[in-house]
Amino acid sequence: MAAHTMLDYATAAARRGWPVFPIRPRTKHPLVRGWEQAATTEQAQIHTWWKRVPTANVGIACGPANLVVVDLDVPKPGERTPSRWAAEPGIRDGADVFAALAEAAGERIDLGTFLVRTRRGGLHLYYTAPPGTRLGNTSGERGNGLGWLIDTRGAGGYVVGPGSYVADEDGEGAYEVVAPTDLAPLPAWIADRLTPAPAVSEATAELEAVAAATTRRGAYAAAALRGEVDKIRAAPQGQRNTSVYIAAKSLGQLAARGLLDTEQIRAALHAAGQAAGLPEQEVT
C-alpha cells in the first residue's frame, strides 16, 4: 500500500471538520499569513496549497474546529522538575502531572478521545470545546494553565496535525495518530481550570475608588468590600448563597455608618455572585 502523503493527512483532518492550513516543512511555523482566517475544509484550496508545497506540515486551527487540545509534553534534555512537583513521587512528565491533577480533582483520566503521539513522545488529547465558552491558549503553569509540561490550544491557537514531521533543537519526529476515535467533550474539571477568572466588576472598581478617595475610614471600607467580594468568588459550590448573605450583612453595617453606599454594595455583590457562578435570580 502506498505511503500517505501530506495532502492525504490534510484532507483527512478536513473531513473531520477541522479547518487546516499549511505549515513550513519540518517546522511548526505557518506558511500562510492570517492562518486562522485562511484555514479551511474546502478540498480545492487544500489541494492548491499542498500541490504548491507537497511536504508542508498540517496545521489545525483549534478555534474554527471547535477544539481544545491538551498537549502533554516531556521534559527537554537537561530540564529539571520544578520544586512543586519534585516532591511528588512518580512525576516525570506532563502525563504524570495531568494524572495528579485529575486525582486531586477527584476525577479519573479518560483517554477515550482522539489521541496523537507527538514528535518527542508526548501526547495531544483532542476534545470538543464546551458550548458557550471561549477557551484560549495556556502554557505550563502560567496564568490559568494546567501545570508543568501541559499546554492547551483553543481559540486563537493551532496544533501541528497528524502526519507532520518536525525537526528542532530539542528533538525531531513525526506526529502519529494512536487513537483515531471520535472526540470526547472536554471534561468539566479541565474546562473549569482553563476558564479565566472574571475581571473585577466595574461596580466594584468604582466603589473602591470612591471609598479610597475619601478618608482613612473610606480606605478601610474599600478593603472590607474587597475582602467580602473575594470570599464570595472563592466560596465552594453550596456555600455561595450563604457567603453573599453574610457579606450583605457585614457591608450593610458599614453602609449604616455612612462609609459605603447601599446601591453600590448591591451592585458589587451582584457582580461577585454572578462571577462565582450563581444564577441571576439568586443574586438579585
* Domain-ending residue, one of 194, 224, 239: 194
Same domain, 111 and 167: yes
Is the same domain home to 27 and 147? yes
Note whether residue 255 is domain-resident: yes
Tally of domains in the chain:
2
Which residue type, as a one-letter code, is found at position 207? L
**Do 112 and 41 share a structural domain?**
yes
C-alpha cell of residue 117? 503521539
- In a shared domain, residues 79 and 126: yes
Domain final residue, candidates 194, 226, 251: 194
Question: 73 and 53 in one domain?
Answer: yes
Residues 188 and 221 in one domain: no
- With respect to residue 11, please indicate whether it lies within any of the assigned structural domains: yes
What is the span of the domain harbouring residue 67? 6-194
The reply to whether 71 and 19 lie within a common domain is yes
Q: Which of 174, 194, 214 is where one domain is finished?
A: 194
Both 66 and 182 in one domain: the answer is yes
Same domain assignment for residues 144 and 190:
yes
Burial of 101 by CB count in 10 Å (0-12 exposed, 13-18 middle, 19+ buried)?
middle
> What pTM does this model have?
0.71
Question: What contacts 11, CB < 8 A, 6 or more positions away?
Answer: 43, 46
Dihedral, 254, 255, 257, 259 alpha carbons, nearest 10: 80
**From CA 272, how far away is CA 235, in angstroms rounded?**
11
In a domain, 24, yes or no: yes
Residues 176, 62 share a domain: yes
Q: Say whether both 219 and 180 belong to one domain.
A: no
**What percent of the residues of the chain are helix, what percent strand, and what percent coil, each to the nearest 5?**
40, 20, 45
Asked whether residue 69 is assigned to any structural domain, the reply reads: yes
Per-residue pLDDT of the chain (284 residues; tens, 9 = 90+): 567 999 999 999 999 999 999 999 999 999 999 999 999 999 999 999 999 999 999 999 999 999 999 999 999 999 999 998 988 889 999 999 999 999 999 998 888 999 999 999 999 999 999 998 899 999 998 888 999 999 999 999 999 999 999 999 888 999 999 999 999 999 999 999 998 766 555 555 655 555 554 555 566 777 787 788 878 877 766 676 788 888 888 888 878 877 777 777 887 777 777 666 665 555 55
Of 177, 188, 40, the C-alpha closest to 127 is: 188
Query: Could you tell me if residue 169 is inside a domain?
Result: yes
